[in-house]
Amino acid sequence: MFRIKRLYTFILQTFLPVFLMTFFICLFIVLMQFLWKYVDEMVGKGIEMSVLAELFFYAAVTLIPMSLPLALLLASLMTFGNLGERFELLAIKAAGVSLIHIMRPLIVVICLIVVGAFFFQNDILPKAQVKMWTLLYSVRQKSPELDIPEGVFYDQISGYNLYVKSKNRETGMMKDLMIYDVSKGFDDVMMILADSGKLKLTDDKQYLFLTLYDGESFENLKTQNRSSKNVPYRRETFSQKEILIPFDANFNRMDDGIMQNQYIGKDMHALRTSIDSMNLRMDSIGRTFGNDLKRSGYFTLYDYQNNTAKPSKQVQQQSFNIDSLYAQESLLRKQALLDRAITRAESVRQDFEYKSLVTNDEKRTIRRHEMEMHKKFTLSFACLIFFFIGAPLGAIIRKGGLGMPVIVSVFLFIFYYIIDNTGYKMARDGRWPVWEGIWLSSAVLLPLGIFLTYKAVKDSAVFNRDAYMNFIRKIIGKQEVRNIVMKEIVIDEMIPETALKYIDELSDLCNEMLRKTGNKRQNYYEYWTRGYDKDLLHSISYRLETLVEYAQNSKNQLLITKLMDYPIIRNLYLYRPTKIKSAGILLVILFPISIPIYLFGSWQQKGLRRELNTILSTNKELKEIIYKDLELSGKKIYCQVNQTNLDTKN
């Protein structure tokens, strides 16, 4: 009997509620973004709540491809972050269960989500997009709800501009009206001034019925008498005037068939069929344009005297000197030939501009269909990538809740969205091939997912601050100050002869290093192919620290103080960038990039040579101090011996 392991059940019970919560939160956020983007086209039009609810439903379904990858990233990050923060992940690993084994049930769930996302993109999303865009365009075309403001011109009635100084909200009576009627064109504009008036919709909501009281109207009649220099007009004084203005206030839903023929309303089979048919049509158009180009005169020589085109073979058999033929013509003939050439060139240019627009439109439509076809796969692949980024990242940072996971998830998703939008625009404009632009974001984030999964499985400290700081120190090379304090109790006191031996060995190594490096800067080729001997530098550092540690056992305060003059030798990366000569030659070839590194590395090598010279000078001073101690200790011993002899004689 098949039975799910208790560990798998625990992981699923931890992940699924978090995933559902984050999915609906992300969907709500992107839906609010959609609302903020199109709110100006919905407000003030008197649209019923049922229509808005239907629009929001289809918009939410359409926005699932954007919210699903973010929800998976956030859910996986929070799940494994919570497990790591509560040390449950550590306990499971201590029992001998690897991270991949822990992720196994979630991998199965993610694979099911990936398959479901593909079928959603192929079967459900096109229908939802058709419904959503149809409703959205219908809402855009809906006339705004009639609400004429006070003190400003109102231009939401097509062909009319209305100005109302004040109005009574209870009775609907408007005072001091000014109306510009440009429905017949600007040549026959009509201006109406009225003391008061009322405005209401007809029962079928197709017209506005405007009743005006005590006013005048002025109308231009320019189109009726164009021959006269003076513009005739008509003036009318009225006590009551009624005007019927066309104004469709109904909500008219567009036909879904218009959007179904677009690329957003097609599945994989329909997209592939459309792309094939459009490519065939594009090839046919290209052959037609090519044949027209061959017959256009570029491959023949046109005889203007006989109005005939000579074939290219005949042109090749005859030799023509155009300049000499042109020079033999009269001035009038030359002017006629130039005018005819300019006219013909302009005609050809316009013809090919039109053909270029036709072909560019066809290519743009083909690219849109190909992009839509590739996007049906990128959503599924993005879900898989984001899971393998979020789960290992949560296991590494070990922070749950809605703090750090939300920050990291939003940062990664913004990074993904910028790259994806960049690739989308490049593919849409034809600058990149379609598959490169659409798959750009996946190609960028896939190595990150592989890297984080590998580091999490190996329990590597990816976010260890000290490791990164040490790496930066080895690049930048921050100088450290040596600090030595005299010991209060010395068990093994320093032997001067042994210290002098250590100093001589250290001086020999430093002199050997300076002899190899020289006092001059290495040239560009030597720096990248040879550099400084890091093994010898390591020996110098080891011998120096041995000397300092041994000399600390001295009771001479001056000697202890002098030890602090020794620099701390740093084994920096840029002393010798590469140990492989072929790799160094490759870096030599990368001339523009490697020059700043060479200059910075040479500056660090100069500092190393200065440190070696400091060690040599400090060695001399330290030896002088030790010799003085030996002399003083020798005199003291001699005096003690003489005093002992005198006591014996006495």
Could you tell me the residue ranges of all domains in the chain? Answer: 153-246, 476-649
pLDDT of residue 506: 92
Class of residue 272 by CB neighbours under 10 A (exposed 0-12, middle 13-18, buried 19+): middle
User: Following CA atoms 274, 276, 279, 284 in sequence, which dihedral angle do they give, to the nearest 10 degrees?
Assistant: -100
The pLDDT tens digits of the residues spanning 108-159 come to 999 999 999 999 999 999 999 988 888 887 777 665 556 677 888 877 777 8
Region 176-180: what's the mean pLDDT? 88
CB 96 within 8 A of CB 231: no
pLDDT of residue 179: 87
| Amino acid (one-letter) located at 25 | I
> Does residue 469 register a pLDDT over 90?
no
Residue appearing with tokens 């699903």: 68
Which tokens in the block code for residue 408? 């990291």
Could you count the other beta carbons within 10 Å of the beta carbon of residue 87? 11
CB 219 within 8 A of CB 180: no
Q: How confident is the model at residue 530 (pLDDT cuts 50, 70, 90)?
A: confident
Residue appearing with tokens 């627009």: 357
- Closest by CA to 124, choosing from 179, 68, 45, is 68
Percent of the chain with pLDDT over 90: 21
Residue appearing with tokens 């180009």: 293
- Closest by CA to 453, choosing from 105, 100, 111, is 100
Sheet holding 233-246, edge to edge: 153-154, 160-167, 174-181, 190-201, 207-220, 233-246
Region 438-445: what's the mean pLDDT? 92
> Does residue 306 register a pLDDT over 70?
no
Residue with more model confidence, 454 or 188 = 454
Which residues have a Cβ under 8 Å from the Cβ of 158 and sit 6 or more positions away? 183, 246, 247
Residue appearing with tokens 């979020």: 390
CA 298 – CA 301 distance, rounded (Å): 8
DSSP string, 496-552: HHHHHHHHHHHHHHHHHHHHHH-SSPPPHHHHHHT---HHHHHHHHHHHHHHHHHHT
The pLDDT tens digits of the residues spanning 83-94 come to 888 888 888 888
> Does residue 27 register a pLDDT over 70?
yes
Mean pLDDT taken over the chain: 81
> Does residue 305 register a pLDDT over 50?
no
Q: 218 has which bridge partners?
A: 191, 235
Instruction: Supply the pTM of this predicted model.
Output: 0.61
Lowest mean pLDDT among 33-47, 201-215, 221-235, 335-349: 221-235
> Does residue 360 register a pLDDT over 90?
no
pLDDT of residue 95: 86
